[in-house]
Amino acid sequence: MLARRQYGSQKPLVTSEALQADITQENLLAGAQQLEDFAYAYEGRTRIIGSPGHNDTIYWLKDELEALDYYDVSLQNFFTVAMISGQINTFLVNGVNASGGLLEYSASGNVTAPLVVVANLGCNATDYPAAVSGNIALISRGSCEFGLKSALAGNAGAAAAIIYNNAPGGFNGTLGAPPRPEGDYVASISVSQEVGTGYVESITGGANITATIDVLTDIQNTSTYNVLATTKGGDQNNKLALGAHTDSVLAGPGINDDGSGTVGILEVAKALSKYEINNAVTFGFWAGEEEGLLGSTYYVANLPANESAQIRGYLNFDMIASPNYVHAIYDGDGSAFNISGPPGSAEIEAFFENYFTSAGQNFTATAFDGRSDYGPFLEVGIPSGGTFTGAEELKTEEEAVAFGGEAGIALDPCYHSACDNVTNLDLGTFELHGKAIAAAVATYSTSWEGFPARNTTVLRRSVVKARKTHQARHHRSRRSLPLLK
């Protein structure tokens, strides 16, 4: 009540309509442009954790939020290992330039040696023939993490590893932050399925293929921060939390992934400061999502039990402006993917279903598979939800009918790539999902009516893994319809 008198006396109580009206394409685009500018001000043109573009993002968010004089703002420091820079200096196959992708956390190395085919999918030590020793292991993508393959190649004495795709085209990926219990990584690069299977065929047909791989990476212990902003006003015992991640991958500036979520929740935080609220709201800007949900995991792990119990729900926004978008809602009730969230998650999903219905838009479900920062919240029993417009998955025919766009093309063709800049955003989608955030924040900061009480007996959910890998994610993120309009 004190808070109400102090901060609320001149401000109207927030409403969904008013808060939505405060979210404009112009402001969303300006925020996204600011993040791109931070990345492009430096040679690396990235916002990966530890990079100057990422640090500038963090300090900017802190300044923007502090200027509102409505939040208690803090930086939450944590440490991790990060690949600050990395490049393939040379990749030659039989003396000819070849194209490959650098796998994140690859070791440095410079070797010229024959390619040796690894059996099966290279997920077991026994898949690696003695002949890989001193040579370059040629491994198919699939079934286990890239990091396991690279470490097993290293254990078998390989000087480098090439992982080829198990679907058409090339790919980007991460080995996962070291150390890995199985051993040290070797220099590791990715190639397309066409190229990789071509090598395998030649070698099994009796040909010798010699490659030169010269890779240089800089992997360092890194200090980074979550930015946390909690309303000074509102009931702290019935709090709404929401979040987005501030970091990109090394390959690019990460403007859809997840500049869109970052700017989306920031714009809502700015708009909310004009109003009075009944329930407190915490905005979390997580670092190190791309290295395995590091920031959100750190936050939840260091949240005292009583504060954890005060959070009635958590909303996550990771990629909300994909160019070949779908309007997806996390499957909180498990109806589409059989992985449901704690009680309350179904209500959050229903909230967003109503939102898209009212906006006259189709929507679909996306699996609650722990692939983004809601994972650690689910693990401790906090009801969660949020929206998502798509990453590397190809648009289906059904989705093209429901949402427009192009079937057979990735929902975000610039996912984890250099081209994920402001030109990669669908601004109409950005606005629609920005307003969805506003609607949810206005609604839950006003009342939790009709929402289940928190069950604070912590249920560990075995289906959610705190650490993710690109490989595991690829297999666990299948979306399925029915479309629900």
- Would you name the residues annotated as active-site residues? 289
Q: Indicate the helix (H) or strand (E) that contains 231.
A: strand 210-231
Question: CA-CA distance, 66 to 227, in Å (whole number)?
Answer: 11
Q: Which amino acid is at 204?
A: T
Stretch that binds ligand PHE, among 32-40, 102-110, 216-224, 366-374 (CB under 6 A): 366-374
Nearest to 369 by CA among 395, 344, 334: 334
Shortest reach from residue 373's CB to ligand PHE, in Å: 8
Which helix (H) or strand (E) segment holds residue 135: the answer is none
- Residue 388 binding: pick among ligand PHE, Zn ion, none (C-beta 5-8 Å cut-off by kind): ligand PHE
Closer to Zn ion by CB, 234 or 253: give it: 253
Contact (Cβ atoms closer than 8 angstroms) between residue 46 and residue 251: yes
Query: In the complex, what is the shortest distance from the CB of residue 216 to ligand PHE, in angstroms, rounded to a whole number?
Result: 25
Residue 190 touches which member of ligand PHE, Zn ion, none, C-beta under 5-8 Å by kind: none
Q: Is 392 in the site for Zn ion (CB under 5 A)?
A: no
Are 144 and 116 in contact by the 8 Å Cβ rule? The answer is no
Sole window of 215-223, 264-272, 276-284, 365-373 interacting with ligand PHE (rule: CB under 6 A): 365-373
Interatomic CA distance for residues 373 and 394, integer angstroms: 23
Name residues contacting Zn ion, limited to 248-287 (CB under 5 A). Answer: 257-258
Nearer to Zn ion, 282 or 296 (CB): 296
Using rule CB under 6 A, residue 371 touches ligand PHE:
yes
Binding test (CB under 6 A) with ligand PHE, winner from 318, 347, 379, 431: 318
Burial of 3 (0-12, 13-18, 19+ CB in 10 A): middle
Query: Is 318 near Zn ion (CB under 5 A)?
Result: yes
How near is the Cβ of 34 to ligand PHE at its closest, in Å? 20
CB 223, min distance to Zn ion, A: 21
184-194 burial code (b ≥16 CB/10 A, e <16): ebbbbbbbbbe
Token readout for 69 is 């004089």
CB of 249 closer than 8 Å to CB of 53:
no
Q: What is the rounded distance in angstroms from the CA atom of residue 68 to the CA atom of residue 62?
A: 10
Distance between CA atoms of residues 336 and 76, nearest Å: 36
In terms of CB distance, is 196 or 370 closer to Zn ion? 370
Question: CA 349 to CA 451: how far, in whole Å?
Answer: 12
Query: Binding ligand PHE by CB under 6 A: which of 193, 477, 483, 484?
Result: 477
Residue closer to ligand PHE (CB basis): 154 or 252 = 252
When CB distances are held under 5 to 8 angstroms depending on the partner's kind, the choice from ligand PHE, Zn ion, none that residue 371 binds is ligand PHE
Pick the binder of ligand PHE from 289, 331, 379, 420 (CB under 6 A): 289
Measured from the CB of residue 155, what is the shortest distance to ligand PHE in angstroms?
28
By CB under 6 A, name the one of 98, 240, 391, 441 that touches ligand PHE: 391
Q: Restricting to residues 248-267, name those near ligand PHE by CB under 6 A.
A: 257
Smallest gap, in angstroms, from Cβ of residue 287 to Zn ion?
Answer: 12
Helix 25-40, helix 52-67: angle, nearest 10: 140
Residue 411 Cβ, how far from ligand PHE at the closest point, in Å? 10
For 38, other C-beta atoms within 10 Å of its C-beta total 23
235 versus 393: smaller Cβ distance to ligand PHE: 393
Residues 6+ apart with CB under 8 A from 172: 101, 103, 104, 190, 249, 251, 416, 417, 470
C-alpha 47/C-alpha 31 separation (Å) is 14
Sites for ligand PHE among residues 166-225 (CB under 6 A) = none
In this structure, which amino acid lies at residue 207? A
Count of residues engaged in binding Zn ion, rule: CB under 5 A: 3
Window 333-362: residues binding ligand PHE (CB under 6 A): none
Q: Which is closer to Zn ion, CB of 20 or CB of 246? A: 246
| Size of site (CB under 6 A) for ligand PHE | 11
- Of 138 and 440, nearer to ligand PHE (C-beta) is 440
From residue 231, alpha-carbon distances to 3, 57, 66, 173, 275 in Å are 10, 21, 11, 37, 11
Closer by beta carbon to ligand PHE, 261 or else 313: 261
436 binds ligand PHE (CB under 6 A): no
Stretch that binds Zn ion, among 145-153, 312-320, 323-331, 351-359 (CB under 5 A): 312-320
The Cα 320–Cα 412 span in angstroms is 10
Residue 471: name the closest of 144, 105, 140, 118 by CA: 144
Q: Closest separation between CB of residue 154 and ligand PHE, Å?
A: 26
Which residues of this protein are in contact with Zn ion, per CB under 5 A?
A: 257-258, 318
Which residues of this protein are in contact with ligand PHE, per CB under 6 A?
A: 257, 289-290, 318-319, 366, 371-372, 388, 391, 477
